[in-house]
Amino acid sequence: MRELLSIVIELSVGLFALLLLTKVMGRASMSESTPFDFISMIVVGDFVSDAIYDPHTHVYKVIFAILFWGILIYIIDLITLKFYQSRRFFESEPALIINKGQIDRKVMKKNRVDMNHLQMLLRDRNIFSLREIEFALLEPNGKVSVMRKSDYEQTNRNDLNIAQKSVSIPITLISDGVVLTNNLKRIGKTESWLESELKKHSVHEPKHVMIAEWRSEDGLYIQKIR
């Protein structure tokens, strides 16, 4: 019974200490935090777990560890505020992953981002086709910020008195040089059809294509590997 009571006390103290630390430091939610923020929360959480599972770790030691770690984070935040160059080390910086409509393969490799992941990030921003993008920045929190091409800027069709047009979801046919045969079947096309379409774009083999997507309204869109 005494051991259970000790766990309850340590959990309660640890919870309120973590909540207080988060409030004081003004941390964003985990989905919007930087890698440094994420590491900080893991380390602080580990302090609390030690208090629960290690009988030799007293609750006062946990409180001290959390407070000391909070002080370190606060000092680092002050450093990043006063010295701009330090932000690159502690917080990293945005990476221009799409420049003037062209995907930068080197930036993708450097940030460990593949084509599927990039497309997922763009869909999260309600962008389903790469042809719509002029610039895209990969932010330190893992999300992307996008500037659309002028032709694809969102407007209210009712304000312009424009008739509605049907839209469809783009289907990826080639990703990183690999033909996605299942997607070809979904649109009722064959690999020989794809090869002939690639030749129209002066592409002789799929391995030279970074991304190829099909949309019924616009046809085939291709970006080559550079």
Per-residue pLDDT tens over the stretch 122-177:
999 889 999 999 999 998 778 899 999 878 877 666 666 666 666 778 899 999 99
pLDDT computed for residue 183 by the predictor = 92
- In whole angstroms, what separates CA 100 from the centre of its chain? 20
Mean pLDDT of 20-25: 61
CA dihedral over 22, 28, 31, 36, signed as positive or negative: negative
Whether 37 and 56 map to the same domain: the answer is yes
Total domains in the chain come to 3
Left if phi > 0, otherwise alpha if psi is -120 to 50, otherwise beta: which for 112? left
Whether 52 and 73 map to the same domain: the answer is yes
pLDDT computed for residue 29 by the predictor = 43
Question: Which pLDDT band, with edges at 50, 70 and 90, does 49 fall under?
Answer: low
Whether 192 and 144 map to the same domain: the answer is no
Yes or no: say if 190 and 100 are a contact pair by the CB < 8 Å rule: no
CA 137 to CA 140: how far, in whole Å? 9
pLDDT computed for residue 28 by the predictor = 44
User: How many other C-beta atoms lie within 10 A of the C-beta of residue 103?
Assistant: 19
CA 127 to CA 82: how far, in whole Å? 37
CA 23 to CA 161: how far, in whole Å? 49
In-domain check, residue 187: yes
SS (H, E, C) 114-181: CHHHHHHHHHCCCCCCHHHEEEEEECCCCCEEEEECHHHCCCCHHHHCCCCCCCCCCEEEEECCEECH
List, in sequence order, every residue forming a beta bridge with 130; answer none if it has no partner. none
In-domain check, residue 140: yes
Whether 104 and 174 map to the same domain: the answer is no
What is the average pLDDT value for the chain, to the nearest integer?
Answer: 79
pLDDT computed for residue 67 by the predictor = 75
Question: Which pLDDT band, with edges at 50, 70 and 90, does 72 fall under?
Answer: confident
Task: List phi, psi (to 5°) of 141.
Answer: -85, 5
CA dihedral over 70, 72, 74, 77, signed as positive or negative: negative
pLDDT computed for residue 83 by the predictor = 74
pLDDT higher than 80, residue 179? yes
Place of tokens 């996605």: 180
What SS3 class is residue 218? coil
Residue numbers of the domain that contains 106? 95-152
Whether 179 and 204 map to the same domain: the answer is yes
CA 209 to CA 105: how far, in whole Å? 12
Q: What is the pTM of this model?
A: 0.60
Mean pLDDT of 181-207: 92
Mean pLDDT of 29-54: 61
Whichever domain contains 137, its CATH number is: 3.30.240.20
Nearest partner of 177 among 129, 111, 222, 117, judged by Cα = 222
In-domain check, residue 160: no
